[in-house]
Amino acid sequence: MEFFATSGSPEKARSSCAIAGVFQDGRLSSVAKRLDKASGGVIGRTVRRGDIAGKPGDVLLLTNLDGLKTQRVLLVGCGPQKSFGARQYRKALEAALGAIARTSIRDAVSYLSCESVSGTDSYYLARYGVEAAHEALYRFLELKTEGDDRPPALGKLGFAVNAREALADAERGVAHGAAIVIGMELTRRLGNLPPNICTPAYLADRARQLAREEKKIATRIVDEAAMKKLGMGGLLAVTSASDQPAKLIVIEYRGGANGTAPVALVGKGVTFDTGGISIKPAAAMDEMKFDMCGAASVFGTLLALARLELPLNVVGIVPTCENMPGGTATRPGDIVRTMSGRTVEILNTDAEGRMILCDALTYARRFNPETVIDIATLTGACVIALGTHITGLMSNDETLAGELLEAGGNADDRAWRLPLGEEYAEQLKSNFADLANVAGREGGAITAACFLAKFTDGLRWAHLDVAGTAYRSGKQKGATGRPVPLLMEFLIQRANGAR
């Protein structure tokens, strides 16, 4: 897909389709009014006739309007004008592009970006627009051989601005959005691939491919023999019954000055999670292929960074394995020594994510990171607490937590902060080891983060629990690409000198 920013008169612009808004109760947007005037009032008469009411998601395609250079005008409902904000803008554009995807239209220009959208500017309208296009048009079809599914014909999409002075900001938004979308596409593809294809070895090969294709990326793979020498008892305990060897994947993006402390992104990479001996119910177990979406988001973020060539140093660390039952599986009650030297009593083998992450967090220290962020589909408890719209955030640093919350708000990839407290950490005490890998049922997302916090002494650290936001269930089952937009906004702001 090619994206671009443009300015000029919508009445005179040549395109296959112009996208314009209609607000609730039939009020035309500013561009729709101009198109209506140039076409002799056809649009206004159509709206007054009740063919489109302007409710969110309404669409109406008009063709061959006299007085216009565009071949078609797609009207899209934007809801009440007074509440037309960033989320409503994105939803309107997604609805419009969803309608276009069902046609043979090959190019279009969106004029929704010319409207007054509260809390945004030309940069964000263009960037949000690119991301909305990705959401509306993304298809995972590579393993289908039958049926009518096919990629949309649309291959070129523009975002208009009212004045040439805003064009540079819009072009920057398009460039950033396009890179973020490339990262999201990789994240979603890795998440959507089945677990018989996307194994730890597959992820390692994909990391090597990144290094071959991107000049500022270098990759290193730590195998099980090296893990044993490093004392990674947590990761090795989880992988013990799998025929697929575990990997610790290190992906370094070197865009900053030599010697500058990196940001470390640590992504949980359990390519299939049965729960181990503490086995999961059969219902929806297929979705446990998504238990590596944290790892996938690290891959996607590093790719987006490389495409934008941001002046930062970032290291991605991905512990990846399967969690399987079997004669060599870790048992409830086993005690293992982690890379940090701490011992952990494994009371529940289905609390495996924290076991691989604790070793990866310890490994991250060798890079002397300025900031460490881990991303994991860690707990069902976070889904119960926050649902499927907002990511859980926990941090030992107030400033970092604020930066991530702000980044999520700016990127429309929201997070919500949950507490860390000694009262919760007390529940992780063990009679036989330094700590247990689970506490009680209450506050499960928090106690899981408290477990990880035990391995972050002296680190500026945040934890993103994406169990509810990294993938969808049901009819729209599939990886979402989150939290790549949040992470990229955070890193873009750092590159811009916000910190």
Question: What pLDDT digit, counting tens, does each position of 242-298 carry?
Answer: 999 999 999 999 999 999 999 999 999 999 999 999 999 999 999 999 999 999 999
Q: What angle do CA 270, 338, 391 make, to 5 degrees?
A: 45
User: Taking 90 as the threshold, does the pLDDT of residue 440 lie above it?
Assistant: no
Whether pLDDT at 423 is above 50: yes
3-state secondary structure of 92: helix
Mean pLDDT for the stretch of residues 20-37:
96
Q: What is the per-residue pLDDT across 51-72, written as a single tens digit (0 to 9) for each?
A: 999 999 999 999 999 999 999 9
- Work out the number of other CB atoms within 10 angstroms of the CB of residue 115: 21
305-324 pLDDT tens trace: 999 999 999 999 999 999 99
Whether residue 499 has pLDDT greater than 50: no
Residue 19 has pLDDT above 50, yes or no: yes
Q: Residue 20: is its pLDDT beyond 60?
A: yes
> The pTM is what?
0.96
Residues in the chain: 499
How far from chain centre, in Å, is Cα 181? 9
Q: Coil, strand or helix: which one is 38?
A: helix
Whole-number average pLDDT of the chain: 97
Q: Which DSSP letter does residue 387 get?
A: T
Task: Please give the average per-residue pLDDT across 170-194, as a whole number.
Answer: 99
State the pLDDT confidence band at 149, using cuts at 50, 70 and 90.
confident
Per-residue b/e over 157-191, b at no fewer than 16 CB within 10 Å?
Answer: bbbbbbeeebbebbbebbbbbbbbbbbbbbbbbbb
- Please give the positions annotated as active site: 280, 354
CB-side exposure of 138: number of CA atoms within 13 Å? 23
CB atoms within 10 A of CB 229: 9
- pLDDT for 498: 55
Which position has the token pair 């049926």? 147
Check if the beta carbon of residue 269 is closer than 8 Å to that of residue 353.
no
Packing angle of the helix pair 484-495, 167-192 (nearest 10 deg): 140
Tell me how far apart the alpha carbons of residues 25 and 37 are, in angstroms, rounded to a whole number.
19
Which two three-digit tokens encode residue 200? 């730890």
- Distance (Å, rounded) from C-alpha 114 to C-alpha 126? 10
Distance CA 114, CA 127 (A): 14
Rounded CA-CA distance 480/490 in Å is: 19
* Whether residue 212 has pLDDT greater than 60: yes
Neighbours of 230 (CB within 10 A): 17
Mean pLDDT value of segment 385-402: 98
In degrees, rounded to 5, the angle at the alpha carbon of residue 264 between the alpha carbons of residues 259 and 265 is 150
Round to whole Å and give the CA distance between 333 and 229.
Answer: 24
Q: What are phi and psi of 114, to 5 degrees?
A: -90, -10
Give me the domains of the chain, ranges plus CATH numbers: 2-163 (3.40.220.10), 183-495 (3.40.630.10)
Give the pLDDT mean for 196-219. Answer: 99
> What average pLDDT does this structure show over 143-154?
86
- How far apart CA 226 and CA 407 sit, in angstroms, is 37
Q: What angle do CA 499, 297, 248 make, to 5 degrees?
A: 100
pLDDT exceeds 50 at position 451: yes
Mean pLDDT of 86-110: 97
Phi then psi dihedrals of residue 219, to 5 deg: -130, 145
pLDDT at 105 over 60: yes
- Please report which confidence band the pLDDT of residue 147 belongs to, taking 50, 70 and 90 as the band edges: confident
